[in-house]
A = this chain, B = another copy of it.
Amino acid sequence: MSSKLFNPAATIKDVAAQAGVSVMTVSNVLRGRGRVSEETRRRVLETAERQGYRPNLTARALVERKAPTLALMLSCITNPFYPEFALAANLQALKHERHLLVCNTDHEPDRGTGFLEQVAGSLSDGVLVANNADLPIDELRALQERGIPVVISVWERPDEPPGIPCVTFDSEGAGRLAAQHLVEYGHRRIGAIVGSPKHGIHGGRYAGFREVVRAAKIRQSTADERFTEDSFEHGYEAAKDLLSARPDLTAIFVSNDLPALGVLNAASDLGFSVPGGLSVVSITDIIPARQSRPGLTTVAIPTAEMAEKGVNLLVELMAGRATEATVVHTSAPKLVVRGSTARLR
Interface residues of A (CB under 8 A from B): 8-9, 52, 54-59, 61-62, 67-69, 76-78, 80, 82-84, 86-87, 90-91, 94, 99-104, 106, 111, 115, 117-119, 121-123, 145-147, 232, 261-262, 264-265, 268, 287-288, 291-293
Contacts and interface: CB of A to CB of B under 8 A. Distances in A.
A123 B91 contact: no
B86 A54 contact: no
Contacts of A292: 292
A144 B267 CA distance: 53
B77 A87 contact: yes
Nearest to A290: B232
Interface centre among A8, A55, A82, A147 (most CB of B within 10 A): A8
Contacts of A59: 62
Given A54-B118, A83-B77, A123 B99 contact: yes
A133 B62 CA distance: 36
A280 to B, nearest CB: 13
B90 A86 contact: no
Contacts of A106: 87
Contact of A90 (B102, B119, B265, B287): B102
B58 A62 contact: yes
Contacts of A91: 104
